Amino acid sequence: MSLFSEILQFVFTGLTIGSIYSMVGLGFNIIYNATTIINLAQGEFVMFGGLIMVFLTVVLKFPLFVGFPLTVIVVMAIGAVFERFAIHPLRNASLLTLIIVTIAASILFRGIAMFIWGKDPYSLPPFTPGSPVMIGGAVIMLQTFWVLGTTLAIVVLTTLFFGKTIVGKAMSACSFNPMAASLMGIHVRKMILISFALSAGLGAVAGIVITPMSLMDYDRGPMLAVKGFCAAVLGGLGVGYGVVLGGFIVGLLESLTAGLIHSGFKDAVALVILLFILCFKPSGIFGSEEVSKIKKF
């Protein structure tokens, strides 16, 4: 195996892991954009996505194209219920309190999942069966194309949503100044509800596409949340394309470090670079200093 194909393999691996981080990061970003809350239960939405999909397609034997949207809808409902029962009643609490509430929710979700599914990991069959593809000596699994394609579709859709639709624009308005937004006739509480449902749905999609590759179990959430959060902060929280690129950067760094330096350093390198960037540009690589100054967090 030549060095070129080795590096190519690391790059493909990095892109695959990176796109998962991107999707988790985007989930953070949507709620942050509407409320400036960092939803630390984001990883649990991913976990629910994977496990509910397993239940629907493996246990109840629903076909993929039925199970996929149904899972996303169920998880969106979980996100909406979470907002109604945990975030909404505390609308006058401080931001920090709300963030701590999301930590509590993540522990609760994990507990519920453990009761329902137990501690064993679950797997899904790949969406398209078949042997991996060889490109330049590197092996690419078919599921990788699904992951990359889904990420691309989600990036396009969210960009369109926030840039072109009234609801999307209204949601961004809420984050800058909820008071002003509500004076403009925007129903702020509704926007927050939508943002939780959307980001839960996004998490579910990420969970569904990665389960065939990396299995899913009840406590996978926190690790994904940490990595997704790194991606979001690195790229610049609040900036959609920045978060996505941040995810790919973290993923690529991890796999290149594991491959070319040593696998023991892989998590450390990504975090050191994150710290380094935050020292010099606290708003993230693609974040704008002015915008981050007006935000509370």
Write out the residues near another protein by the rule CB under 8 A.
1, 6, 9-10, 12-14, 16-17, 20, 119-123, 125, 132, 139, 141, 210, 213-215, 217, 220, 222-223, 254-256, 258-259, 262-264, 266-267
Cα separation of 96 and 297, whole Å? Answer: 9
Residue keyed to tokens 């629907």: 56
Which residues are within 8 A (CB) of 16 and not within 5 positions of it... i.e. 6 or more apart?
Answer: 144, 147, 148, 213, 251
Residue 217 or 273: the one with the smaller Cβ distance to another protein is: 217
Query: By C-beta, is 189 or 266 nearer to another protein?
Result: 266
- Looking at the Cβ atoms of 33 and 143, the one nearer to another protein is 143
Least distance (Å) between residue 180 CB and another protein? 42
Choice between 69 and 136, CB closer to another protein: 136
Q: How far apart are CA 154 and CA 139, in angstroms?
A: 25
In which residue are the tokens 């790194």 written?
Answer: 230
Which of 187, 240, 295, 276 shows the shortest CA–CA distance to 25?
A: 240
Q: Which is nearer to another protein, 93 or 261 (CB)?
A: 261
Least Å distance, CB 139 to another protein, is 5
CB of 158 to another protein, least distance (A): 23
85-89: Cβ within 8 A, 24+ apart? 87/35, 87/37, 87/192, 87/196, 88/189, 88/192, 88/193
Shortest spacing between CB 146 and another protein, in angstroms: 14
CB of 216 to another protein, least distance (A): 8
Residue (105 or 210) nearer to another protein, CB: 210
CB of 1 to another protein, least distance (A): 4
Minimal distance, residue 207 CB to another protein, in Å = 11
H helix intervals, the chain: 3-35, 42-54, 64-82, 95-117, 142-164, 166-176, 178-183, 188-214, 221-235, 240-256, 266-280, 289-294
Q: Which of the 8 DSSP states describes residue 187?
A: -
Q: Minimal CA–CA distance to 49: which of 204, 199, 221?
A: 204
Nearer to another protein, 1 or 183 (CB): 1
